[in-house]
Amino acid sequence: MKQPELIQPEHLPPRLRWEKLFQFLPQWPQPAARTGRRPVNRHNMLKACVYQRLTRKRFLRDLHTHLMENPPIAAALGFNPYQPPPSLERFSAFVCDCPHQSLQQICIDLTRALIQLGVINAKHVGFDSCPIASSVRENNLKTSLRRCRYDKSTPPKGDPDARLGVRIHYPNPGKTQVEYFWGYRNHTLVDLESELPLWEITEPNSVAETTLAVPLLESVRTTFDLKFESVSGDAEYDVEAILKHIVHTLQAKPFIPYNPRNKQDTTGFRRDGQKVFCPASLCMHRRGRMTVKGITYIQFSCPFFYGQKSDLLLCPAGHPKFTTQKGCNYLWRITNSIRDQIPYATEIFKEHYNRRTAIERVFSRLLAITIQEPSVRGLSSIRNHCTLSHIAVLLVALAAYKLGHADKVRFVRTFVPNFLD
């Protein structure tokens, strides 16, 4: 027979709940002693920043005021409840000046613990990115500026590291709303089964998503010694270098849809044996072979410019490049494409690609703990801000599993107040 509890979990003080959560947070390495101002315990500052995100306090001054008014919470974070908490400048210095490698190591330790416990198996992974708008006046449409608001050659003075980017909204089905902003993007590799992040990189908007896909996969594979079975992503990642790395290096299956923008416009062109005919039904002139990024093509050009001279002043097919350039151009690819090995139209491909929606749910939980609402500026500060949000998600997952709530590893905001007893 189960013994009734003398004090029900809902009546426990919040301090005990937060102390239970933070006992699973890896220790911050203490620096060597040196002369100067008395230091503040970095591990306690880390717990305070994680607490700030789990309680959705956007600004550091809100966190500082909350700790001033709640000494039990300050005690749960490791501070002396009988003394004022660290000043606002100390919190700001921790977020802005803290070495990102130290926060990244905390994130790696949490991920490794979840992998060892079997919460994360990383057999099926996927990558995507989310926009992080910088808090500059150029992003506030209510402000008036003397210069162009979105001139990419002139970064904002409030955040010189920010770059111009685009984010797309879908207010209604079939409608797309494009919005420009100054800021960054958080690129994340996610385990699709557990819906937990594996690795994250924050870069300015000027860094393309496709250039970070391979570094994300290699960082996770080499750090945790994992073997992927499938890699999913949206059509933005339909790049031959990424597909080759997944198939040949990782020996996994790519479930990335075909991007129509990567296909050559062959409307009106016709191939007959070793010859190519243009939209005007003229045999095109073969100019030879060319190799670009390891891919070999045979180039065919307009016969009026490169073949036998003609007295025609206009293209019979009315091609617009006849007057502005040197006629039409056709590339006959010789090298086999890696896309020929991907079964795009099969049910297996559709089933695995539908798993990619787990990435959107991961970003939804990160948005719930203010990853898109930074109170700091600068690339190094934004990187620390995003990594702290990922630490909060992984810490809740680790605590939930070790405390017997394996079905609540994704309850980021509600686990501590509702289920932690």
Looking at every residue in the chain, the average pLDDT score rounds to: 88
Q: Specify the length of the chain in residues.
A: 421
**134-138, 186-190, 329-333: range with highest mean pLDDT:** 186-190
* 14 vs 201: which has the higher pLDDT: 201
Beta carbons of 415 and 200 less than 8 angstroms apart: no
Compute the distance between CA of residue 69 and CA of residue 57 in angstroms, rounded to an integer: 14
Average pLDDT in the 11-32 region? 83
Q: What is the pLDDT of residue 13?
A: 75
CATH of domain 119-139+154-260+347-381: 3.30.420
51-104 pLDDT, tens per residue?
999 999 999 999 999 999 999 899 999 999 889 999 999 999 999 999 999 999
Cross-strand pairs, 288: 299
Residue 4 has a pLDDT of: 56
Q: What share of the chain is helix, strand, coil (3-state, %, to 5)?
A: 40, 20, 45
pLDDT of residue 195: 95
% of the chain exceeding 90 in pLDDT: 59
Per-domain residue ranges of the chain: 119-139+154-260+347-381, 262-310+318-336
Exposure letters 87-112 (e unless 16+ CB within 10 A, then b):
eeebbbebbeebeeeebbebbbbbbe
- Of 1-5, 129-133, 360-364, the least confident: 1-5
The span from the CA of 111 to the CA of 226, in Å, is: 12
> Does residue 6 sit in helix, strand or coil?
coil
Compute the C-alpha angle 95/195/122, nearest 5°.
100
Position 266 scores a pLDDT of 67
**Model confidence at 313: pLDDT above 70:** no
Rounded Cα–Cα distance for residues 78 and 101 (Å): 23
